[in-house]
Amino acid sequence: MSMAGLIERLLPNFIARKLRERALHGATVFCPVCERGAIAFLPSGSPPRPHVLCPFCGSRERARMTWLYLKEQNLLRPGLRILHVAPEACLRDRLKELPQATYVAGDKHETGYTYPPGTIDLDVTALKFPDDHFHLILCSHVLEHVPNDRLAMSELLRVLKPGGTAILMVPIAKHNAETQEDPAVTDPKDRIRLYGQFDHVRLYGRDYSGRLQEAGFHVKEDAMTERLSPEEVFRFGLLRSELVHAGSK
């Protein structure tokens, strides 16, 4: 074990974390979620990609873009009733800080996985909430896992308040006009090959907005990085190719 590794192991966790944070503090990149500057975003993923993970709050590109979008569009207000499906921890921590907000986090509980305290077991195709209930819904990178995504979309629309907004980002293959899906494809290896991940049941194409519209959403497909300079895109650690899909009712 290296000396640095030994020191890290002997120190109480919080001191080790403080030392690491001090070492990574800088001004090259800036995380909009935790509002801290760092010398870099850390590599993450398999295989690892560079420039992904905020060393302080653990945000990735998508969470940082979501937070910037929510702020830019003035969607973060006191007193909101918020539903956060498959919650990203960094966003959860910020949303819970909103004054007088009611915050509900939920995920489909699968055996063998653990969920943060307070995350309720939730089926996005059968939501146990009244109609017109939430001002803001965050449900990103969920629908590509859900066999009946049209039912999930109609449920999300049902519980959204008129005038409310649902952030519904998914991975999209922009070179495909149509969504690729086949319920007969269940082998994890085939799903990786066809849809990009072992537990994805489809690969959305450019028709994704249309599918949300068919469910009844008014859809805004927003390439928000086009409003930012290349320097800002780098500094905030965003993906140029990623779109924000915001559905309203």
Binding region for Zn ion (CB under 5 A): 31, 33-34, 54, 56-57, 59
| Smaller CB separation from Zn ion, 32 or 205 | 32
How near is the Cβ of 63 to Zn ion at its closest, in Å? 9
User: DSSP string covering 11-53, please?
Assistant: S-HHHHHHHHHHHHEEEEEEETTTTEEES-PEEETTTTEEEEE
Residue 166 forms beta bridges with which residues?
137, 247
Helix (H) or strand (E) holding 71: helix 61-72
Closest CA to 28 of 36, 39, 20: 39
* Sign of the CA dihedral with 74 first, then 238, 173, and 46 last: negative
| Smaller CB separation from Zn ion, 31 or 160 | 31
How near is the Cβ of 85 to Zn ion at its closest, in Å? 21
How near is the Cβ of 225 to Zn ion at its closest, in Å? 18
How many other C-beta atoms lie within 10 A of the C-beta of residue 193? 10
| Smaller CB separation from Zn ion, 116 or 147 | 116
CA distance 14 to 189: 40
How near is the Cβ of 31 to Zn ion at its closest, in Å? 3
Closest CA to 70 of 90, 89, 95, 51: 95
| Smaller CB separation from Zn ion, 59 or 225 | 59
| Smaller CB separation from Zn ion, 21 or 131 | 21
Burial of 224 (0-12, 13-18, 19+ CB in 10 A): middle
| Smaller CB separation from Zn ion, 63 or 86 | 63
How near is the Cβ of 204 to Zn ion at its closest, in Å? 28
The torsion angle over the Cα atoms of residues 97, 26, 74 and 151, rounded to 10 degrees, is: -70
Residue 101 three-state SS:
coil
| Smaller CB separation from Zn ion, 34 or 82 | 34
How near is the Cβ of 52 to Zn ion at its closest, in Å? 12
First-to-last C-alpha distance (Å) of the chain = 57
How near is the Cβ of 64 to Zn ion at its closest, in Å? 8
